[in-house]
Structures are given as structure tokens and as C-alpha cells.
Amino acid sequence: MTIEIDTSAGEYEIDGEAEIIAGYVRLFEQHFAKHYTATHLPARRAIHAKSHASLKADFEVIEHGDAELRHAVFESPARYPAVVRISNGDGPAGPDTDWVASVGFAIKVFDVSRPKYFPTQTEDTQDFLFLNQPAYIASDVRDYTTLMRAIDGGIVGKTIALIRNFKGLRYRRTASPKDNPLNTNFWGVAPFRLHDVTVKYLMRPAAPQPKQIPRRRTADYLKKLLKDWIEHRPAVFDFFLQKRLVDGSERERMPIEDYAVAWDERQSVPIRVARLSIPAQPVDDSFDRQFGEPMVFSPWNTTRDFRPLGSLNRARRVIYQLSSGARHGTTISPFAR
């Protein structure tokens, strides 16, 4: 499963990267064996296991007027059906009050009939994956090892992970306590090569409201906040691309191989290229079980001209494929005619 290093986009191989990723595979295999094979329970996602909701949505590419960004799904104005899955971002399902756990927001855009990055991919879809923080907790695959061990490592493993990833941890701290996911800013965190320009993507509520954080927060308070909103009114997000500026300081200020550094949005102002509209609808657990839970998301489910970059994206290709295989994940379109 060799992936070339795109040095022209700022990538470089991390020392010992292949061995580190092989170690991830062993950790994930041990996780699934412990929690599911040994207990005869159906396997769930090793990360982002707790779902708040899966919802139907509409992804509309707008006329953004930037020639450098007219590639992949952003080439021209169009509307696509989509499904969003909103989840807790870390490891096995835990309480929403855990300040270390992020909020995950995944979009699968359907009917994207463009050449895929890997010819073996068969879905006519494009995935976008977000967290509620502008940078990741881990810098690269070396730091991410402690997070993998923390999944089943108890309090000792979690403490080691927090110490090792202190630089990125501040973004988690400032994102807590967590607001309604439909009233939250989200960042893709990871860089991508969009034809000849390197970008990150992010989303912001189109009409942000005052925060709705209850004083007494239960273990599942985010689902209640989300449900109270989307069952009565729509939610709309503006979708942006942020360009990497190549000015001699990009390796420090806008690095490719350090996900724990947020790209300055004042230095490179994000450009609005699309809009995500989630119509008012019931929060239906049966829809989540039928479509959201088995659905496979990956940054590598992408088109040929929108390539994931960085060691953590290279690792995600391996571990996301392992996770979906262990739980027999498959994407079923709720829009099938």
C-alpha cells in the first residue's frame, strides 16, 4: 500500500513512518479482537464510534470566482445530495462532557461522477471530514501513536497521550464545553493538493446563534441540542477553502507535516466555495443504523485532483480501511432511485 510522497506540495516522509503505521495496524487489530471478537459483539468504529445523528443534506458548489480552485467537485456550480454524520471524535463511545473528546462532522457528497484518486474506488462520492478545532491534537504519525494506545490504555495511556500532544491539546481545551454541533465552526485540519494549489477546508454556520451550552450537561446532551434544533428548523453551513501561501515561511506557518499548527485565517483568508444545507427533519435512529453507522468515510475517498497530504492522512488511509473492513462497513445511498 505504497503512497508516493509529493515533495512539490511540501510533503516529506517521517522517520520510521512505515514501521509506525504498521504498529497502528497491530493496535487496531488488538482493539477489535478485545472488544468485539472476544465478546461476539458486532464491531463498531474504533474512532468516532458515538453518533449524535446521521442526516440528509444538500451540498451546493457556488460560483466562487477563483480560477485556482476550479477543480475537483469545486470546478463549477452544482448541487449534490449528501449525508452528514455527527459524532464524538475520540475512540469508543463516551460522555459528551469529556472535554478531551472532539466533535466529528463527516460529509459524504453523492453523485460526484469524476475520476477517483485510486482507480479501485467505486463510489461516486466525495468525503469531507471535520473536527471542532482548527488544528489536530497530534503533529504527525509519531505523536499519534500515543493516541492510538490511549484508546485501550486506561488512565495511564490517556495521561501519556495528553502529555505528548500538549501543543495540540490547547485547541481541544478552547473548544470545551461543546456547543450544539449545528452552531459550531468546523475545520478539516488536514491539507490537500487541489490541482496545483494546497488547501485546507473548513465550515462555519451561515447564521451563527448565541451558544446554547446548558449548565447541567448530561452524557448525551449534544444529541438533545441537535435534535431540538433540526426537528424544527434547518441548519446551514458555509464551506470554505483556505490556500497555503508559499512565501518562504510556509514550512513553519502553514506546514504540511504538522497537523497541530493552525493556518492563520488572517494571513490566508478562507474563500467561500460551497454551502451545506441540512433541512429540518426527524432525528431518526433507524436511519442512522441503516445508513450512517455502516457508511464508510475516508479522506482518500476523493477525486484524482484533490489529493490528501501529510503523514497522518497517509496513516488514515491504512487505519480507516482496517476499521471499515473489521466492521464490514459499506456505503448505501439513501437517495437510490
Q: What pLDDT is stored for residue 246 in this prediction?
A: 92
The label of the residue with cell 426537528 reads 231
What is the DSSP track for 77-107? -EEEEEEEEEEE-SSS---TT-TT--EEEEE
Radius of gyration for the alpha carbons in the chain, expressed in angstroms and rounded: 19
User: Which whole number is the average pLDDT over 229-246?
Assistant: 97
| Boundaries of every domain in the chain | 7-326
CATH dotted code for 7-326: 2.40.180.10
Summarize pLDDT for 183-219 with one digit per residue, the tens: 999 999 999 999 999 999 999 999 999 998 898 999 9
| Torsion angles phi and psi, residue 321, rounded to 5 | -65, -40
User: Distance between alpha carbon 248 and the CA centroid of its chain, in Å?
Assistant: 29
Tell me if the pTM is above 0.85.
yes
Q: In one letter, which amino acid is 116? A: K
pLDDT given for residue 187 in this prediction: 97
* Environment class of 155 (CB within 10 Å of its CB; exposed 0-12, middle 13-18, buried 19+): exposed
User: 119 versus 301: which is more confidently predicted?
Assistant: 301
Ranking 77-86, 168-177, 240-249, 303-312 by mean pLDDT, the lowest is 168-177
Distance of alpha carbon 64 from alpha carbon 271, whole angstroms: 8
Instruction: Give the DSSP letter of residue 236.
Output: E
